[in-house]
Amino acid sequence: MATNISASASSTTNLLNQRLLSFPPSQYNKNILTKPYQQQCLLISSSNKKNRAAMVVNSSRKLINLDQHDDYLDVDDKPKEECGVVGIYGDPEASRLCYLALHALQHRGQEGAGMVTIENKVVKSVTGIGLVSDVFNESKLDQLPGDMAIGHVRYSTAAGSSSMLKNVQPFVTSSKFGSFGVAHNGNFVNYQLLRAELEGKGSIFSTTSDTEVVLHLIAKSKARIFALRVLEACEKLQGAYSMVFATEDGKLVAVRDPFGFRPLVMGRRKNGAIVFASETCALDLVEATYEREVHPGEMVLVDETSKEPQSMYLLKPHPPGPKSCIFEHIYFAQPNSIVFGKSVYESRHAFGEILATESPVEGCDVVIAVPDSGVVAALGYAAKAGVPYQQGLIRSHYVGRTFIEPSQKIRDFGVKLKLSPVRAILEGKKVVVVDDSIVRGTTSSKIVRMLKEAGAKEVHMRIASPPIIASCYYGIDTPSTEELISNRMKVEEIRKFIGADSLAFLPTDSFRNLLGSDHTNFCYACFSGKYPLYPSVAMEESIDDTMKLTVAAN
């Protein structure tokens, strides 16, 4: 067992105070962005530029050939959030509370789950492939005692089960100062550069996850206090990260990147236990009262030396303001969550109202949604338009990643597995169908065809977001730029491709007007091609020529 280093509360606080930023957290709320924040970044790039259109960087940073996954992509043609994190401190039922919180975050990752607990300076871990309920049961939770736990749910585009298991978090490692675990939501855009530097100094990596670089950076730090080692590591990281750490000597640390790309909130149970989670819906399930967000660039430390969480901030990097992911409000987060200080339900309802106001359909008979993420926007559209909302598409929640396809080819098989039209609602009707986004357009075209085959007289598609024209590098799995239909086609061309009678997207200007003075605090890179972290030469080589032209045009 590694030697444990302890320090008094006062000495720890004095050391940490040296790392405070020279401005308060309220500075992040200023809505002035003078010029883009420049950083050097590096992404994986395909050596075969001709085939780059068929490649995607997945959450384990591997390049996946999309041609091998057509059926799966057709079933759910949406951007994918890569994970959700939970941290619980000071509750004797920590592992069971963490289990429930991970259930609440299951929508953020369905392919792997894990948990780490601490008791008597012993770190215990359980990870596995599948849903939270597949990985954990009573006997597994009995193996995870203690009053502190961190947990993780993971999404990955593709990988064999053996390699995917190695990448399931939380990761646990030992250093000269003791053992600790980490769970991470986001992507480090300088991962390859950091990994190459660490390997050049003798580090050995056992996974393909970008999160592993954090373990090496912390282990190599010479600071004697864990919080300082985390701060030093974070100052070398570029990109998106909301992370929770648990140490063998009973410290729970939560930290968020200076841009605040990915969400992270803090709550408190009636018994005083502190809970961190990616969304407030997880707090609700474990009966923790939401207190606040972890601020961009903030690290929060909870341990036995202080009754209240201690807050400190990164000295660098120092961006001019937060750039939180707007897609959390469009698609990723649960409608009952508060994300970035705003109600997700209210945002989506307002998106639908804007569509009804700016892109009405004269004489429409019924408004339906592409479930589940389009439901709240459809309710907003129906309420504003004065048209009844009906459940015209029924979603099956029992379709997994793998299924046996019939020997006789059935058209639109993958979509029909998940969505079934209700003929009694659709037949002979002029239908408005609301969805959250269009990515490749393949699923939208199949939905339109399915609705018309079910008897709809007309199908008018309304999209509760602007057109997606650029890939995301900050923790969302999106297709390459060439695959994004809005990057290749104008709205009328997309309408013809999907077969709708009309098509309208949420206007960007209306979108920003709705957010008011807070609109500069969000990242719109997927709609504009303008990235808060500007690419270096190395990163630009991984962005196709079409993307460069898009950035230049804007």
List the domain boundaries for the chain.
84-323, 343-398+408-527
Q: For residue 225, give the nearest of 318, 117, 122, 305 by alpha carbon.
A: 305
CA 339 from chain centre, in angstroms, equals 12
Q: Establish whether 523 is an annotated binding residue.
A: yes
- Could you tell me which residues come within 8 angstroms of residue 256 by beta carbon, excluding any fewer than 6 positions away? 241, 242, 243, 262, 264, 293, 294, 295, 296, 297, 298
Q: Establish whether 435 is an annotated binding residue.
A: yes
Residues labelled catalytic: 83
| CATH, range 84-323 | 3.60.20.10
CB atoms within 10 A of CB 396: 11
Tell me the C-alpha distance between 27 and 319, whole Å. Answer: 11
Instruction: State residue 404's pLDDT score.
Output: 58
The alpha carbon torsion through 540, 545, 547, 550 (nearest 10 deg) reads 120
Alpha helices in 257-311 (DSSP H): 280-285
Alpha helices in 311-467 (DSSP H): 327, 344-358, 375-385, 413-418, 423-426, 442-453
Instruction: State residue 222's pLDDT score.
Output: 87
Alpha helices in 157-309 (DSSP H): 161-166, 191-200, 212-220, 226-234, 280-285
DSSP assignment, residue 473?
-
Instruction: State residue 305's pLDDT score.
Output: 87
Q: Establish whether 472 is an annotated binding residue.
A: yes
Mention the CATH class of domain 343-398+408-527.
alpha beta
Task: Give me the half-sphere count of Cα atoms (radius 13 Å) on the Cβ side of residue 506.
Answer: 31
pTM strictly above 0.85: no
Q: Establish whether 281 is an annotated binding residue.
A: no
Per-residue pLDDT of the chain (554 residues; tens, 9 = 90+): 333 333 434 444 444 444 444 334 443 333 322 233 333 333 323 233 333 333 333 333 333 333 333 333 344 566 655 699 999 999 999 999 999 999 999 999 988 999 999 999 999 999 999 999 999 999 999 999 999 999 999 975 333 444 578 889 999 998 888 999 999 999 888 888 888 899 888 888 888 888 999 999 998 888 989 999 999 999 999 999 999 999 999 999 999 999 999 999 999 999 999 999 999 999 999 999 999 999 999 999 999 987 789 999 987 777 878 999 999 999 999 999 999 999 999 999 999 999 999 999 999 999 999 999 899 999 999 999 999 999 999 998 776 554 556 666 677 777 878 899 999 999 999 999 999 999 999 999 999 999 999 999 999 999 999 999 998 888 777 778 888 999 999 999 999 999 999 999 999 899 889 988 899 999 999 999 999 886 444 444 444 443 443 344 43
**Sheet order of strands, 502-505 included:** 366-369, 430-435, 458-463, 502-505
Tell me the C-alpha distance between 448 and 465, whole Å. Answer: 18
Tell me the C-alpha distance between 383 and 143, whole Å. Answer: 50
- Could you tell me which residues come within 8 angstroms of residue 202 by beta carbon, excluding any fewer than 6 positions away? none
Alpha helices in 270-391 (DSSP H): 280-285, 327, 344-358, 375-385
Instruction: State residue 17's pLDDT score.
Output: 47
DSSP assignment, residue 49?
G
Q: Establish whether 257 is an annotated binding residue.
A: no
Do 343-398+408-527 and 84-323 have the same topology in CATH? Answer: no
Instruction: State residue 406's pLDDT score.
Output: 65
What does each C-alpha distance from 224 to 4, 6, 219, 227, 228 come to in angstroms? Answer: 10, 9, 11, 9, 8
CA 396 from chain centre, in angstroms, equals 23
Instruction: State residue 551's pLDDT score.
Output: 40
